[in-house]
Structure 1
Amino acid sequence: MTHLCIVIPMKSPSCAKQRLAGCLSASERQQLAVSLYANTLAFFQQHFPQHQVVVISQSCVVLSLAKSYGAHGLREEGKEGLNEALWQACQWVKKAGFTHQVIVPSDISLLDKQEFDLLFAVATQQQVVIAQAKDGGTNALVSSPPDAIGFHYGLHSAAQHAQAAKRQGLSFCQLRLPHLAQDIDQGEDLDRAITQQAEHFLPWCETTRKWPVKERQYA
């Protein structure tokens, strides 16, 4: 599937990971958000270089980092949040001639190539593919054409995206992929992520000195 565009929305790092405020300082949350985002860019650059990556954000720092990984940076113009930003990105993707769009968060802790291979394979058979997060959210959304459905990110968004596809009479599929389902919303989520993929968190852990990675790596 060569006509697929990967869209990554990214908040300004200073506004990211607010739900971790109980266990991380503002500086630590910002550093964590940037670290996860960089890992995401590196993952797609390494494993799926054939696909265009587009990052939409209000942050100049975020857009500059996207460029360093070969991604296209798109400055977010609206003020109405994630769904409006994604619709803006979708219009760019459609105008650029892509037949498929996949939206992926910037902060999935464990990105697995085999899971994305499956996601993309299913997308050749279905117009909408939803990879559900553990809390009922949407951690990947593939649509063909890119604007096949509106975006309903928020509480229980996976079910809302499925309903949107059903209303439009589109073929759709919901996937539960073990790694892609994992968010980092609570301290225990972060602890688990560091244990599972310590090498991706090593620079951040060394900066914060909060997690002894070498001791926990194979716990």
Structure 2
Amino acid sequence: MLSDMIAALGRCRALDRTVVVSADPTLLAEAERLGADTIDEGRPRGLNQAVEMAAGLLERRGVSRLLTIPGDVPLIEPGEVEALLATDPRRHPVVLVPSAAGTGTNALLASPPTIIRPCFEGHSLEAYQRTCRAAGIESLVLPLAGFALDVDTIEDLECLARSGN
């Protein structure tokens, strides 16, 4: 999955770079071999804390917009990533790409990177929307077919196998 994701992201002209965040040195070495930049999170923090740490670090380095895709979304397509990145950050500082079930979030585009705290996992789409409303942040939900599948179960793996990837 990692190599497919990095390859797809590498074909996106609108994307400056791909960064993989992990505490696993083997995974980080593989990501670097595949052409991604890496951030070693040190001790494992869990997805949300790792994303929050990386978003803060990247924002301090001058990144103004951050696309976060969890590592279990293997069917992303460059054209869909380009469409996501074409959204207007002034109009929608937060763009959410839902899971197939419409309850989870399989991508978060945040402008600036720390405008909203990450809350992936579970029924995160509603949680993100609620947080945005409470903070007065305009968000956009953008369903994209290539982002719909996230691999959490055996059934998800079977679906991935049927897709031919």
TM-score by length of 1: 0.68
Residue aligned with 2:113, SS? coil
Residue 174 (1) aligns with residue 138 (2):
no
Separation in 1, partners of 2:16, 2:149: 23
Separation in 2, partners of 1:84, 1:177: 25
**Corresponding position of 1:32:** none
The change in CA–CA distance for 1:186 and 1:102 in structure 2 (over 3 A counts) is: same
More helix by share: 1
Are the equivalent residues in 2 in contact too, given 1:58–1:76 (CA < 8 A)?
A: yes
1:111 Cα offset (Å): 1.4
**Corresponding position of 2:67:** 102
**Corresponding position of 2:3:** 38
**Corresponding position of 1:187:** 154
Query: Which string of whole-angstrom CA distances, capped at 9 and with x for unpartnered residues, describes residues 117-152 of structure 1?
Result: 221112444100000112411100011111001111
Q: How does 1:6-17 map to 2 (within 5 A)?
A: none
Separation in 2, partners of 1:95, 1:173: 25
Residue aligned with 1:47, SS? coil
1:157 Cα offset (Å): 0.7
> Which residues of structure 1 form unaligned runs of 5+?
1-35, 201-219
Q: How does 1:69-108 map to 2 (within 5 A)?
A: 69-108=34-73
**Corresponding position of 2:29:** 64
Residue aligned with 1:52, SS? coil
Residue aligned with 1:142, SS? strand
> Which residues of structure 2 form unaligned runs of 5+?
none
1:69 Cα offset (Å): 2.4
Residue 131 (1) aligns with residue 97 (2):
yes
1:50 Cα offset (Å): 4.4
Larger Rg: 1
1:191 Cα offset (Å): 2.2
Are the equivalent residues in 1 in contact too, given 2:104–2:120 (CA < 8 A)?
A: yes
Q: Which amino acid aligns with 1:116?
A: V
Are the equivalent residues in 2 in contact too, given 1:130–1:158 (CA < 8 A)?
A: yes
1:154 Cα offset (Å): 2.1
Separation in 2, partners of 1:154, 1:106: 12
Q: Among residues 63, 67, 80, which one is paired with 1:115 in the alignment?
A: 80
Separation in 2, partners of 1:149, 1:114: 26
1:51 Cα offset (Å): 1.5
Count of residue pairs brought into register by the alignment: 163
Bigger drift between 52-61 and 64-73 goes to: 64-73
Are the equivalent residues in 2 in contact too, given 1:78–1:85 (CA < 8 A)?
A: no
